[in-house]
Chains A and B, each alone.
Chain A
């Protein structure tokens, strides 16, 4: 993964942490220690704090998250604008794949009856490219958001699952602070991460560990897992790219990153520096839900 270290965060994270280098070094040393622990040992220490961290594949990002995304809790992922639902779906699929990489157990993906018509049917051949093998996917379709919430609740009562994804469209009044706390406590107790995928909704106060706002970003060059670059080409697509805004981070600072998903290594990677300076992109039209609905 060393080849991708050239990336840096785009947003405010540099200003937010004064002693960033020191913490980075500390986190790296923890990571080095972690990777030296052999796998069987790691599996036995389920409640060990370090094994409950999910590496997202980008050193910079992992370090910012103090070692990786915590398994023990709820993480919220919002589509940042209308049209970014699929990008948010991909981001959650990627997070799930990372979380399931060294843990057994399937992902339970809970959606509602109309999500197949609204956003398209969650497609197993596509998910396979995002690191979720078809034999590790269970899909639950709730008639009502309330049922979806109860399904997630039931699922988080046991530790057999690898990941629970709860996908809800629109404002969900039943998903209040109490319900969120319930989910969070379940996820915390079983060390099964719960990803809340929200479309067309505004965040509310929540006990979630992190909250991400995801937008699609134009990507250009194609490269292999080893970082080989091809010339930008109108007829070739690069790896899918996201703008990921960390809008809430319990016990940590915020930031924003440009990420790509590499299907070869089945992990997030940092885009190469060339892409950022690519001049041909007009500024992205950002349409937050709030403005759209207010108008």
Chain B
């Protein structure tokens, strides 16, 4: 067993990650040891990253325990670089985390200074001097570091002094690239964990907020702010997310997605209230929220809707509003509409998709939906079992219609059997799919079933199996 991490106190005693547990115990017998839980660590990092959203929406994770925040244009909100560092250290320190933080004009520089330097803020003019003092470990890559150290190059300043072509020839391009990034000569974009919102409105509180009515009021104001901004360009958004930052660091969110772009504050707020109501206790204010933010995503041009006098159009809008309302309250996957697909295999011929993204054209592919000929009873069952259920069937001859079958422990005697309707598998999806012979059967009591025999007798199989695929009314 080896050590994965050590706190500052342990490090001063010479306990470093990578040491064997037995060796470490030999040095410091009364050391407190905990099991390494990578999943819990990841969760904690995710939670911290969520919490960091309070500073900027551009938060990226770096490695196992690093975060990079792009603070461009947002520093003044937190009292400049120094103010931000103090704030981050104080708040995270208050939650019991040890923080190494640095601010620099480039993510790679900031990371190197935080990890291998003294931390703090690095003014742009001082970048080269600060970076030059860092140990070569900041360049990453164990082999490179060993090679540099063997060559007597212990700090980045010494490495930079070497001719570039020599470095490239000896250590390859990655080292030169790493140097360029550290010295702010090459750009390296960060990839934020969450999509960057198109529009943000937020309100910090000096005193933690717990009163639901006040929270509602604040949200309404934020919604108003965002809608004014959306309206300026005649745009709307389809995805609104309210994020609640709790004093103890937890972040809660409530998401409202709509079928069409919206910029009507009242409508958005009504949907948001439904969502909050559905969340119920999950939006637990605990000791209160100290920041509430509303984000708008998916900004797009508003469909010009003239107030229609036609009943059909207002009706359509009403149906869309109902779908939005139900989707927000019960989840988008709970409200569905059918789509037709071009497939002869019954279970692939249709499916349900969330109603919010559904369009009238999706229901089409009517040729496949309509398999009934004139004067026939319904050709497809009104209820389908997916996957089909295996049933015991007695048939006259192996490739004949069923005579009796047992379904859900009840024996059914077949009076009528219409079929077979032969449906071959789609070889381009499943090369080995058995051919199915479908029978519509009616039992003594007039109940109707859709049974199929999988596999052609004598050709594909010697013991065909029977399945119940659906029920007719």
Decide: A133 near B319, CB < 8 A? Known: A218-B442, A228-B375, A234-B416.
Answer: no
Interface residue B371 (Cβ < 8 Å from any Cβ of A) = yes
Decide: A237 near B447, CB < 8 A? Known: A121-B383, A127-B382, A139-B337.
Answer: no
**Chain B residues near A84 (CB, 8 Å)?**
447
**Chain A residues near B447 (CB, 8 Å)?**
83-84, 86-87, 216
Decide: A120 near B470, CB < 8 A? Known: A127-B382, A130-B382.
Answer: yes
Q: Which of B339, B364, B444, B473 contacts A90 (CB 8 A)?
A: B473
CB distance from B346 to the nearest CB of A (A): 8
Q: Are A126 and B326 in contact (CB under 8 A)?
A: no
- Among A115-140, those with CB < 8 Å from B are 116, 119-130, 133-135, 137-140
Q: Are A154 and B325 in contact (CB under 8 A)?
A: yes
Interface residue B335 (Cβ < 8 Å from any Cβ of A) = yes
Decide: A240 near B326, CB < 8 A? Known: A104-B312, A137-B337.
Answer: no
Decide: A126 near B336, CB < 8 A? Known: A83-B447, A105-B319, A120-B470.
Answer: no
CB distance from B347 to the nearest CB of A (A): 9
How many residue pairs at the A-B interface have CB separations less than 8 Å?
210
Q: State how many residues of chain A have any CB contact under 8 Å with chain B.
A: 73
Q: Which of A43, A135, A241 contacts B446 (CB 8 A)?
A: A241
**Chain B residues near A151 (CB, 8 Å)?**
326, 330
Q: Are A237 and B442 in contact (CB under 8 A)?
A: yes
**Chain B residues near A101 (CB, 8 Å)?**
none
Q: Are B355 and A125 in contact (CB under 8 A)?
A: no
Q: Are B448 and A147 in contact (CB under 8 A)?
A: no
Q: Which of A89, A104, A125, A261 has the most CB of B within 10 A?
A: A125
Q: Are B330 and A218 in contact (CB under 8 A)?
A: no
CA distance A125 to B338 in the complex (A): 9
Q: Are B318 and A158 in contact (CB under 8 A)?
A: yes
Interface residue B472 (Cβ < 8 Å from any Cβ of A) = yes
Interface residue A169 (Cβ < 8 Å from any Cβ of B) = no
Q: Which of B322, B340, B445, B470 contacts A155 (CB 8 A)?
A: B322
Interface residue B350 (Cβ < 8 Å from any Cβ of A) = yes
Decide: A240 near B322, CB < 8 A? Known: A128-B369, A218-B442, A263-B372.
Answer: no
Q: Which of B312, B330, B338, B378 contacts A147 (CB 8 A)?
A: B330
Give me 11 other A-B pairs in contact (C-beta within 8 A), A155-B322, A222-B376, A235-B417 excluded.
A86-B448, A86-B472, A86-B473, A89-B383, A125-B340, A125-B368, A128-B370, A130-B473, A139-B338, A216-B446, A217-B446
